[in-house]
Structure 1
Amino acid sequence: MKISLITETFPPEVNGAAKTLYKFASGLSSRGHELVVIRPRHHDDTPSPNWDQWLVAGWSLPRYPTLRLGLPAGSILTERWNENRPDVVHVATEGPLGWRAVETACRLGIPVSSSFHTNFHTYFNHYGFGLLSYAALRYLRSIHNRTRGTLVPTPLIQHKLQAAGFRNLGIMGHGVDTELFDPKRRDSKLRRRWGANKETLVLLYVGQLAIEKNLELVVQSFEAIRQKSKNEPKFILVGDEPERNRLARKHPEYHFVGMQSGEALARHYASSDLFLFPSGSQYAVPLDTRSPGCPGVV
């Protein structure tokens, strides 16, 4: 089957949705599908040996220089899909590129599906623009309801979106690489680097250090645990931008380790004792904590 995957987040970006979509693309390719990934261009792009890529112009998001929105690119999509028509178009993000891809596929009569990864409409509440949240939800709903079906990660999200007027929802659970995320990767040397011994309680946060991730709640939760602990617990924050510098100045005793991936990320999970994840907008990260045996509070 010829499949065009439209996404405005994908490696080399480092975030939960990008990782999920890379696994999705890898799974489709490994099953013999002819895949084209259509996404914004990055300065450090590398060719993929497993699928074709159409790279389009985009621009960086304010406060997130490593994340890019794709320009609509309607004429490019029309030209290329007329030359090499896909059997199905799957739209994974709802930015300008995703919106135009849905419109173009519908106009050309190409079946189009979508997936829902992030509650973007809730971001406005964290930046003082709560009145725009409903307008953003209507925008998201209008995109997904034009497709033949929308994939969501859990029954809970399916229920919430159905209540908000989203139609034709199906569940595609996010898998976990159990060989990578394994309790055997617990690393005493890494714990000592954090100043932790066998008795030390180590708490972990993984994700972008951003206001919309509800960071104040995770800090309050750690401080509450800290006050009741006999031994001094350690707080490890995996992630970067845009709030890292502010948090580091306010809490110099926390351990800010930047972006981690692959085996390094797996060691951080396995070497921690409790995972804190306060965000109500993302769904991919908490699943990775189950396999390495790090219990989570979400």
Structure 2
Amino acid sequence: MTLPTSMTAVEITTHGGPEVLQPVTVPVPVPKAGEILIKVAYAGVNRPDALQRAGLYNPPPDASPLPGLEAAGIVAAVGPDVARWTVGDAVTALLPGGGYAEYVTTDADHALPVPESMPMDQAAALCETYFTVWSNVFRRGALQAGERFLVHGGSSGIGTTAIQLAALRGARVFTTAGSADKCNACLALGAEAAWNYREVDFVDAMRAMGGADVILDMVGGDYLPRNVKALADDGRLVQIAFLQGPKVEMNFVQMMTRRLTLTGSTLRPQSVAAKAAIAHDLEKEVWPHLASGRIAPVMDSEFALADAAKAHARMEGSTHIGKIVLKVG
């Protein structure tokens, strides 16, 4: 594959709102040892991208400063010590950054084959959410078949993924969302109940079901003590973001007397080996179900790469259901 020396990308010109995302021309990155270069067809848009844009989620020192944590496309080059991938392979990949561009590099072990018959736009919407949900709900939260699982923001990219994976693995799934349409979308994906958080107190609703064995939360703020109340004895609260802030006063006596577990993680700072282990699990446990069509990413909308600012405005308007992607190639 003949490679250009420069490419179009979208950079964060300064910290601020969506308008700070602007197209630029930059050099095509060169894969280092253990890395592949992907010619991007589509790039996923995620909340961490907006946090980075706002100056609240800085990339690791060795990562691209460009936004974009997942993409799908064709392998355009391989670095030294890469055995699995060859030029021309169709892949979807978790990225350390740089996805809002025509080409991006990533560790070869963080790429997975595009599931059979899946279009590239859907493939680009997989990795950030599936890596996050798998590592937090099933590894840290240890969700088991038959357990009660509550996910907040069920209509988001994370939420729609979590509902499908939890239901697939035999859990009873409950969720919150902000409108009747969003709640109906969650029910269609396999949730047993979906509560409009503007109208229903999820603590009372969840306790009426026996309490949650696992809660996946990205809201934080005053949801933290409410989540603790909504847990069943021996329940696990898994925190992956703090849209309403990370600081709150909370009485931890319940954690001890009811044997609760409070945990959580973020994906980007984890080691190369840790992310590769998640990829291995996903390929074995989840990718066959994506290939069969039993589960699939829920797609909201598509924007051109140059319209990344519009994509961010759509995401932050919180009217979307599922994933937003950028069409690149």
Settle same-fold status: TM greater than 0.5: no
The structure whose RCO (Cα within 8 Å, separation 6+) is larger is 2
Q: TM-score, structure 2 length as denominator?
A: 0.25
Name the structure where helix makes up a greater proportion of residues.
1
Name the structure where strand makes up a greater proportion of residues.
2
